[in-house]
Structure 1
C-alpha cells in the first residue's frame, strides 16, 4: 500500500524508481517542448487576423523569442540521462520561459477584460501542461505557486490592478481549481508508476527485489564503481525439493518467506538482498574486512537460518531448514555475470562438501615474476 510520503516527495523513492520516472518524464518533456515550439509561433496567425499591425508585430517578436528560448530544450532532453536534478532544471526553465512570454503578453495587451480567449486562458493552460508529468505533490504545488505569484504579481505591478480586487480573486479561484485538478492527475500518474514499478521489480512471495532488479543493480554497480569493491554471496536452500514433496508447496512458500526474513534481519540497509530465482538468494555488500569478514558474515547468516525452524501451515510440523552459501570477491574487470558465476562455483563446492556450509572462493593465483 502506498504511503502519503511517497506521493508528497521523491526523497523516499529508490534510486532505480527515480531513474524509471525520469525516463518516463523525459519522453513527455521532449514532446511537450516540441508542441510548444510549434504552437506558440503558429498562434501568430490568429494575432494577425484579430490585432492591429503594431501589436501583432510586438507579439510576433515575443513569440519568436520564446521559440528560440525553447529550442535548446529538445537537445538538452537527451542529456538528462535519468538525473532527477537535470529534469527539475529542465522543467523550471520551461516554466520560466513560458512565464516570461505570459508577462510580455500582459504588458502588450493591457486590460485583461479585452484580451482574446487564448490569452486569458494562458495561465490555466500552463498549469494544465504540467499535469502530463508524474510529479510529486510537493513539486506540482511548487510549480503552481510560482505561476500564481508571477502572474498575480504581474497584474498588480505591470497593470496596476489591486492585488485583492474582485477580478484578481476570481482568477485566483480558477487557478486554485486548475491546480487541484492538475495535482490530482499528477499524483494519479505517480501512483500508477509506483504500482507498476513494484509489480515488475518485487518478488511477490518474499517482498524483496526480484531477479530483474537484482541483476540491473549489480550490473550498474559493476559499471559505475567496479566490481572489485564488492562481495557477492549466492545462497541456496538445501534439499528444498524434498520440503515441497513432503510438506506441500504452501510449506515451501512459508520456508522461502521465513528464510528471506531471516536474511534481511541480519543485514544492514545498504547491503543488497534479492531473490535470484527458485530457492536461491543473492546478497551484495562491500568488501570492507576482506575474505575472513565475508566468511564470518556468511556463517552468521547460515547459523541464523539453521536456528529458525518453520512451522508447516498445513500440518503444524516444524521444518528444519539449512542453506549452503557460495562467496565470490569482486575483481577488476568483473561483470555481474562473471561475479555470479564464480559465486555459483563456490556454492557448487559447498554442495559437494555436504551442504549447510560456506565456501569462499580462493584468492586468484598470483602471476609468477619473470626471472
Structure 2
C-alpha cells in the first residue's frame, strides 16, 4: 500500500513537472536548452530549404495568372526566398548558439506569413486570387508548429498571430465575420489545438529522452558523459567563468554494501545525491561520476568560496543518518579533492588533478578535503 501511494505521488509530481516544463522554458536546465536548440536547428535547416525550394514554383504560377502591374511582388518574393535560405545557412553554422536558433525558428514562420500579409495589403484588386492561391499558408504554418519542440506559450503566440492573419485575409476579401470566414477560423483554431497537443507530447518526450541519456537513474544527477559535455560548453564559452572541480568519494562504501546490502547502499547513494543537488545548485553542475564517486563543478566562485562549499558538503554528508534493514543507525563520511580549472589547460588534466587530491585525502585519513587552491589559514584549521 505504501509503495502504491509513493508511486502515485511520483506520477503526480512527474505530471506537474511535465506540464510546467512544456508550458515555458523558464525551468529548463542550461544543457537541455542546448539540446532543444540543436533539435530545432535541424528543423530550421530542413524547413527553410523546403519553403525556399517551393518559392520559385509559386512565382511561376503567379506570373501566369496575376496582372502584369503587380511587379512589386517580385522583390518581396525574392526577399522571402533569400531570407529562408539565410535561415537555413545560419542554422547550419549556428551550433551551440541558442538565441540565434530561437530567432531563426521564429523567422521560418514570420517570412511566409509576412509575405502573405504583404500581398493582401499591397494588391487589394487581386485579393480574391491571393486568398485562393495562398490562403493555405496560415494552415500550413499552424500544422508546421507540431514539427518543432516549442513550448505551449511559444506555439500559442505563433498560432494567435496566424489566426489574426486569417481574419485579416477575410477582412480584405470582404468576408469579415461571414459564415465562411468563421468556418476557416474555426478550422485553423482546431489545427492549432492539435499542434499544441503535439508540442506537449513532443517536448515532453524530448525531455524524458534527454533525462534518460544524461542523468543517472539512481541519484537523478548528471551522468559522466553529460557532465563532460556541459563542462566542454563552459570551457569553450567566449568568456569562460571560473571553474573549481570537486571530486567526492564516499568512504568505505564497499563495506556498506557488504555489511548492510546493496539496497541500503543504493539508498545511501540516492540520499547523497539529493543532498549534493540541494546544497550546490543552481550555480554548480553535479554528477555521479561512477560507483560511489561524485563530481561537482563549482562555477563562478572564488577559491575561498569553493573551499567553504566543499567543507559544507563534507560536514553535511557526515551528519546524515541511515537505517539498515535491522533498523540500526549508521553514518558515512566522504573524502574530497578540490582544484581550480586552469583555462590554459585541458579539462581532463583538471579532473585528473582533482582525482589525485581525492586519493591524497584518503591517504591522510579520510573524511577531509585535500586542495591545491589558495585559502585562508584559519579555514584550513576549521
Residue 88, structure 1, aligned to residue 96, structure 2: no
Residue from 165, 177, 189 that aligns with 1:150? 165
- How many pairs does the alignment contain? 356
Write the deviation string for residues 293-315 of structure 1: whole angstroms up to 9, x where unpaired: 54443333222222222112x33
Write the deviation string for residues 309-333 of structure 1: whole angstroms up to 9, x where unpaired: 2112x33232331111111123341
Q: Distance in 2 between matches of 1:44 and 1:277?
A: 60
Instruction: Report the equivalent of 1:308.
Output: 320
Instruction: Report the equivalent of 1:110.
Output: 127
Given that residues 7 and 137 in structure 1 are in contact (C-alpha distance below 8 angstroms), is that contact kept between their aligned partners in structure 2?
Answer: yes
Given that residues 298 and 306 in structure 2 are in contact (C-alpha distance below 8 angstroms), is that contact kept between their aligned partners in structure 1?
Answer: no
Question: TM-score normalized by structure 2?
Answer: 0.83
Residue 26, structure 1, aligned to residue 57, structure 2: no
Instruction: Report the equivalent of 1:216.
Output: 229
Question: TM-score normalized by structure 1?
Answer: 0.85
Instruction: Report the equivalent of 1:7.
Output: 22
3-state SS of paired residue (1:328): strand
Instruction: Report the equivalent of 2:147.
Output: 132
Instruction: Report the equivalent of 1:297.
Output: 309
Matches within 5 A, 1:249-288: 249-286=262-299, 288=301
Residue 340, structure 1, aligned to residue 354, structure 2: no
Per the TM alignment, residue 63 of structure 1 is displaced from its structure 2 partner at its CA by: 4.9
Instruction: Report the equivalent of 2:114.
Output: 100
3-state SS of paired residue (1:71): helix
Structure 1 pair 126–164 and aligned structure 2 pair: CA distance change class (3 A): same
Given that residues 340 and 373 in structure 2 are in contact (C-alpha distance below 8 angstroms), is that contact kept between their aligned partners in structure 1?
Answer: no
Q: Distance in 1 between matches of 2:78 and 2:113?
A: 15
Structure 2 runs not aligned, ≥5 long: 1-13, 375-382
3-state SS of paired residue (2:370): strand
Structure 1 runs not aligned, ≥5 long: 364-371
Residue from 352, 357, 360 that aligns with 2:368? 357
- Structure number, greater radius of gyration: 1
Per the TM alignment, residue 60 of structure 1 is displaced from its structure 2 partner at its CA by: 7.2
RMSD: 2.8
Residue 319, structure 1, aligned to residue 333, structure 2: no
Q: Distance in 1 between matches of 2:300 and 2:137?
A: 57
